[in-house]
Chain A
Amino acid sequence: MLKQNEITVKEPLFRVIKRSNISMPKAWFIRIAAAALSLIVCAFVVMSITGDNPLSVYLGIVDGAIGSKRRIWVTVRETLVLLIIAVGLAPAFRMRFWNIGAEGQVLMGGAAAAAIMIYFGQSLPNGILLIIIFTASILAGLIWGLLPAVFKAYFDTNETLFTLMLNYVAMQIVTFCIVFWEKPAGSNTVGIINAANRGGWLPSLFGIDYGWNIVLVLAMTIGMYIYMRYTKHGYEIAVVGESQNTAKYVGINVKKVIIRTMMISGAICGLAGAIIVSGASHTISTSTGGGRGFTAIIVAWMAKFNPFAMILVSGFLVFMQQGAIQIASQYGLNENASDIITGIILFFLIGCEFFITYKVELNRNRKEAH
């Protein structure tokens, strides 16, 4: 009897209740509060290292991200790349298929684009060349996404670990190719490909350098929104993600959905590789992905797979990263400070989702028990 009494007295201080629904403004209020809190913590971190006041730290961030016309375009360009990778990951994650391999899929797409640019850049007219580049990149990304999907579908091979390992295989393939493509010889870098005739470079559109990038990425974003929301495929993805058993019961071919969705996911990541190589950097290296394949996972997750929310999230993250690079050079810190700042912001944003899904309240029963 005594023991039972002890159990009833031992009530936790807080009670966690799942919210049945939360209003849009309230959810965004929590997110913005978390972002603000993370900015305050970051400012303190930078302050304690540099000893400058937080206001000038913030001004440094804003200046670095949008301080000049060139910086604005860099921020836009980086946001577009992060966005399209996140868009590519969205359907896979919706299906609860943990595609951690975006980095590798982007690299394979980039390598395919670079290969076509190098071998055919001088001989083919640009229009045809671009079509071949994008097709090749999409195919390369698709294959890199298809591999783990087939094994997942037929043998239930753990896709998180499989896709993770494929990233490093892709990186080695790229370093392998660089040996043949390096210019000048012995530099171990490819340099700007076709700098003279701009073969295989995405041309500017309406006089905007990254015009095609904007059009392609936004088209994919809107397309993905429609695909996930209004098509039969999108519905099947959602059902498989919620419960594979339910999906089987209602007659959805789960294997087919897994393979098809990962082909799409890999293909878009491959396309992202082409956009980076042909539309922005015009070169290839193992850092062509630059960790964005991993950051995009966080973007897709935090945006709750909504492509439009992804624009906001990726924009914010790139803004902070570019700003942090500026602060780093302003205060003579090394450039890795931006990773620390990104990390801190991410921890806050990830943590705040809890308060959107759940309600925490003080346990009233606790007092009554005494």
Chain B
Amino acid sequence: MELLLTFLQKAIGQGISILFGASGEIITEKSGNLNLGIPGIMYMGGISGLMAAFFYEKYAEVPHPFMGLLISFAATLIVSALGGLLFSLLTVTLHANQNVVGLALTTFGVGFGNFFGGSISKLAGGVGQISVATTASAYRTSIPGLSEIPVIGPLFFSYGFLTYLSIIVALSMGYFLANTRKGLNLRSVGEDPATADAAGINVSRYKYLATTVGAAIAGLGGLYFVMEYLGGTWTNNGFGDRGWLAIALVILALWKPINAIWGSFLFGGLFILYIYTPGLTRATQELFKMLPYVVTIIVLVVTSVRHKQENQPPGHLGQSYFREDR
């Protein structure tokens, strides 16, 4: 029981950064933009939040946890939104190929994260020496009182605010896409931009907005990882493949943010299952780590074989739209 509780808690902790990434990617893909730069953007978001907190704590006389939180949160949003803006500029305005831009952005973003991460590690005195404990403590504050209830407390109320924010973001995005006029417009842009254009929807504006907002949300996944999961430090490439897992989760969730919530916990669980499964050798552990990707492939294949209308990727996913090209 104790072990199961720890497992669930850890699975949720692993899932949250993936959930942020997937939510951001879902709203991006709903506009027809396949942003493969999300893994890079998550690195950028993580490192910019960390750097902001680092310099704040370094130069403020008495760093206040809440101020550190505000500053790092804002830095993450701005930098990752800029990543999304760059993607939109190149793909929407300059009609560049989305896969190519996305991969270049990931190369850039991962380099950006590791470069500045390595550089401020050096400033701080060595690898793993960065510590923004004051700011991280604000991120790690759980709900007082409620988190002390046995079983329910640790399972539901032992997390920092970003965890709850990620779920709120996913829920409200689900509502936005399904029940609002703007959400409908956005989906129509992703399905068939020509028709949307003819109906008087500003295709470029929707694509720009969705991609930029999506990137900002995904960046929070990086921030969560750095602040709450690691407790305010950095290791190069520590974020690993989680960005690609976020893109995988979009498929698993069938482009629905609400599915992404349980999907992220499932992925988080699969990601760490090898630690909790008894009797594994080092070799079979590696096979276990394959599970999230294999599950994604199976879901991808099954949905395309069943070919149910509502479970398909957005119709114009990955294609740029140029009015005169039709």
Q: Which residues of A contact B (CB under 8 A)?
A: 16, 18, 98, 100, 151, 155-158, 160-162, 164-166, 168-169, 172-173, 175-176, 179-180, 291, 294-295, 297-298, 301-302, 333-334, 336-340, 342-344, 346-347, 350-351, 353-354, 357-358
The answer to whether B297 touches A166 (Cβ under 8 A) is yes
**Distance in Å: Cβ of A179 to nearest Cβ of chain B:** 4
Q: Is B286 an interface residue (CB 8 A)?
A: yes
Within the assembled complex, what's the spacing in Å between the Cα atoms of A350 and B110?
A: 19
* Set of chain A residues within 8 Å of B317, measured between Cβ atoms: 158
Per-residue 0/1 for B315-326: is the Cβ within 8 Å of any A Cβ (1 yes, 0 no)?
001100000110
Partner of A342, one of B86, B94, B107, B313: B107
- Shortest A224–chain B CB gap in Å is 20
Would you call A354 and B95 a contact (CB within 8 A)?
yes
Could you say which of B111, B283, B300, B304 contacts A343, with CB atoms under 8 Å apart?
B111
Contact across chains for A350 and B90 when beta carbons are under 8 A apart: yes
Is B100 within 8 A of A160, CB to CB? no
Distance to closest chain B CB from A324 (angstroms): 10
The chain B residue sitting closest to A291, CB to CB, is: B107
Known contacts A172-B289, A357-B95: A350-B104 contact under CB 8 Å: yes
- Contact pick for B247, options A157, A164, A343, CB 8 Å: A164
Chain B: interface residue total (CB-CB under 8 A): 54
Q: For residues 117 through 173 of chain B, which have their beta carbon under 8 Å from a beta carbon of chain A? A: 118-119, 122
Are B107 and A294 in contact (CB-based, < 8 A)? Answer: yes
By the criterion CB–CB under 8 Å, are B305 and A155 in contact? yes
Interface flag for B266 (CB, 8 Å): no
Q: Residue B7 at the A interface, CB < 8 A?
A: no
Chain A residues whose C-beta falls within 8 Å of the C-beta of B95 in the assembled complex: 354, 357-358
**Interface pair A168/B108, CB less than 8 Å apart:** no
> What is the interface of chain B, defined by CB distance below 8 A to chain A?
34, 36, 86, 90, 93-97, 99-101, 103-112, 114-115, 118-119, 122, 236, 241, 244, 247-248, 251, 281-283, 286-287, 289-290, 293-294, 296-297, 300-301, 304-305, 307, 313, 317-318, 324-325
A333 and B104 CA atoms in complex are apart in Å by: 21
| Contact across chains for B104 and A334 when beta carbons are under 8 A apart | no
Given known contacts A100-B99, A164-B247, A351-B94, A169 and B108 CB-to-CB distance under 8 angstroms: no
29 A-B residue pairs with CB within 8 Å? A18-B324, A155-B301, A155-B305, A156-B304, A158-B304, A158-B313, A158-B317, A160-B34, A160-B318, A161-B247, A168-B290, A176-B286, A179-B281, A179-B282, A179-B283, A295-B107, A334-B114, A334-B115, A334-B118, A336-B111, A336-B236, A337-B115, A339-B112, A339-B115, A340-B112, A340-B115, A343-B111, A350-B97, A351-B90
Min CB distance B255 to A, Å, is 11
Contact residues in A for B90 (Cβ distance below 8 Å): 347, 350-351
Interface majority SS on B: helix, strand, loop or mixed? helix
Interfacial chain B residues near A339, Cβ < 8 Å = 107-108, 110-112, 114-115
Q: Complex: how many Å from CA A180 to CA B86?
A: 44
B283, A180: Cβ atoms under 8 Å? yes
A165, B297: Cβ atoms under 8 Å?
yes
Looking at A18, A155, A165, A339, which has the most chain B CB atoms within 10 Å of its CB?
A: A165
Q: Which chain B positions have C-beta within 8 A of A337?
A: 111, 115
Residues in B with CB closer than 8 Å to A175 are 286, 289
Secondary structure dominating the interface of A = helix
Residue of B nearest to A300 (CB): B100
Q: Are B99 and A160 in contact (CB under 8 A)?
A: yes
Further 7 A-B residue pairs, CB within 8 A, beyond A176-B286, A334-B119, A346-B104: A164-B36, A166-B293, A169-B293, A169-B297, A179-B281, A297-B100, A354-B96
Q: Identify A176's interface contact among B93, B248, B283, CB under 8 A.
A: B283
CA distance A347 to B112 in the complex (A): 14
A297: B residues at CB distance < 8 A: 99-100, 103
What's the least CB distance linking B149 to chain A, in Å?
39
In Å, the complex CA distance between A334 and B116 comes to 9
Question: A295 vs B197: C-alpha distance in the bound complex, in angstroms?
Answer: 34
CA distance A145 to B115 in the complex (A): 34
Bound: A272/B146 CA distance, A:
57
Closest-CB distance, A222 to chain B (whole angstroms)? 25
B313–A346 contact, CB under 8 A?
Answer: no
Q: Give the shortest distance, in Å, between A345 (CB) and chain B (any CB).
A: 9
Which residues of the other chain, A, contact B282 by a CB distance below 8 angstroms?
179
A169-B293, A176-B286, A297-B100 given; A338·B111 CB < 8 A: yes
Residue of A nearest to B292 (CB): A168
Residue of B nearest to A301 (CB): B100
**Bound CA–CA A370/B28 (angstroms):** 38
- In the complex the two chains form, is B290's CB within 8 Å of A169's CB? yes
Considering the complex, give the chain A residue whose CB is closest to the CB of B325.
A18
Q: Which of A168, A179, A298 has the most CB of B within 10 A?
A: A168
* Contact yes or no, B104 A298, CB < 8 A: yes
Residues of A within 8 A of B110 (CB): 336, 339
Question: Shortest CB–CB separation between residue B9 and chain A, in angstroms?
Answer: 25
How far apart sit A152 and B252, CA to CA, in the bound complex (Å)? Answer: 18
Asked if B294 and A169 make an inter-chain contact with CB atoms under 8 angstroms apart, the answer reads yes
CA gap between A354 and B96 in the complex, in Å: 7
A342 near B111: Cβ-Cβ < 8 Å:
yes
**Smallest beta-carbon distance B215→chain A, Å:** 15
Q: How far is the CA of A11 from the CA of B27 in the complex (A)?
A: 30
A328–B294 Cα distance when bound, in Å, is 38
Assembly CA distance A180 to B300 (angstroms)? 32
* B95 nearest CB neighbor, chain A only: A354
Shortest Cβ distance from B87 into A: residue = A347
Contact between chains at A168 and B244 (CB < 8 Å): yes
Distance A202 CA – B159 CA, assembled complex (angstroms) = 55
CB distance from B225 to the nearest CB of A (A): 18
The 9 A-B pairs of least Cβ separation, nearest first, read A339-B111, A343-B108, A334-B118, A354-B94, A336-B114, A346-B104, A172-B290, A157-B304, A336-B115
Which of chain B's residues have a CB closer than 8 A to the CB of A336? Answer: 110-112, 114-115, 118, 236
Contact of B96 among A165, A344, A351 (CB under 8 A): A351
Distance in Å from the Cβ of A11 to the closest Cβ of chain B? 15
Please, how many angstroms separate the alpha-carbon atoms of A64 and B83 in the complex?
30
